[in-house]
Structure 1
Amino acid sequence: SSVCPSAVSYCLPVCAREAARAAHRYFMNKHQKPVLTGQRFKTRKRDEKEKFEPTVFRDTIIQGLNEAGNELEAVAKFLDTTGSRLDYRRYADTLFDILIAGSMLAPGGTRIDDGDKTKVTSHCVFGANEDYETMRNYAQVFSKLIRRYKYLEKAFEDEIKKLLLFLKAFSEAEQTKLAVLTGILLASGTLPATILTSLFTENIVKEGISASFAVKLFKAWMSEKDANSVTSSLRKANLDKRLLVSILLLA
């Protein structure tokens, strides 16, 4: 029997399309990697981190600190677990500003959100009791955090150097807490002695802030380590000559 030419002309494109679709499905099934149920692509986690802005980051950290309160073990645990979902690397300065000063800091050391109670926390170094043991406990929080997230080491050094430049903006009590904390962290090796170069900035030297801070810092450092250890650390950082006067004040 004869086949209608119009039927043939219609059938060929349809068959060709079906064949192409079948070939495409075969190719995709053959080359697609198996995906386990619940598996998430690696880029997904990175994309989630990209969404965070400093203010969102700030709010999350402050909420966690407020919930942990004065229980520093709870603070350390919160910081440990939160680092897996927040981008500590990108917002390290915000993280350390809050942990020390309780708020994001503007250039010069003023609190950006000081007027908004929901954006600041008193559960920080500056809001803690002004005693040696409390500062020692806070030093352990920072040491644990940096051991857990090694990439924060340099950012923490930069933060302390920055805060030393901002000393004039802080109260005497806040300066004392920072001095003791820094001395303990220098003794433990969490901070290098090179951060002390910030103390030679002209404006804080002239007003006597630098000398007062250095005395408290070295007192804390030498409570943890002997004089030979302190001198050795200063010598390695090429700072021993300039800081010799401060050490002698403690004698």
Structure 2
Amino acid sequence: MIDSHCHFDFAPFSEDPAHYLALARQAGVNKLVIPSVGVRNWQAVRQLATEQDGVYFALGLHPFFSADHTVAAERQLAAELEAESLLRAKNRSHCVAVGECGLDFAIAEVDRDQQLTLLSSQLRLANHYGLPVILHCRKAYPELLRLLKQIPPVAGGVYHAFSGSLEQARQMIDLGLKIGVGGTITYERAKKTRAAIAQLPLSALLLETDAPDMPVAGFQGQPNRPDRLVAVMDALVTLRSEPREEIEKVITLTTAELFHIPH
């Protein structure tokens, strides 16, 4: 399995990445995609992907930290993606997406215009370099949908941490995006999201932990870990009609194809 969204450069993983990767592999999670949050951790995610087998990364400007992002950061992101594209041409890049990017209007005193400008810029960069996008959205779904219709992601992407309605999921899928399924579905009270995930095409789903965030049921208050992707898979199997083997195979293939990860 592939954890399509894991902040593996954060604590506790940063203290002993080899240990946590070994735990993940023992659980059947062989590959990770690490989204970044801004200039401050681009080098960390790149270094992890260079040093550890099966680790890939994305470069982006996360909307939650939009107060930290300057015009210079946008220019720097463009330069970093250009450098990675040259490495990709030599089959030497582990950069597989632009992100984590998106809109977060749940922040106090949010500058909506700045976030919309930043996301527009990142969508255009993703399209220019033929990379998928990893999208974050809180309290901004109508605005996100509108912007994605204006600048459709040509290489697709994933709507991360989905917890919405069936209609919203279908709108994202119609735009060529996948749906990131995480710990939310391990909670029986998440009836709307669980019902939506049960009805979507299997080929539209990716699995993610968002570790160390989004703990799965039974582990509240503890840092989430990539090996607990198994709990998300277990929950998904109870919601779907397909056999587990088919679910694992299809989702792993979908994830590998979206991010151009060897499989």
Give the number of the structure whose residues are more often helix, by fraction: 1
TM-score between the two structures when normalised by the length of structure 2: 0.29
Give the number of the structure whose residues are more often strand, by fraction: 2
TM-score between the two structures when normalised by the length of structure 1: 0.30
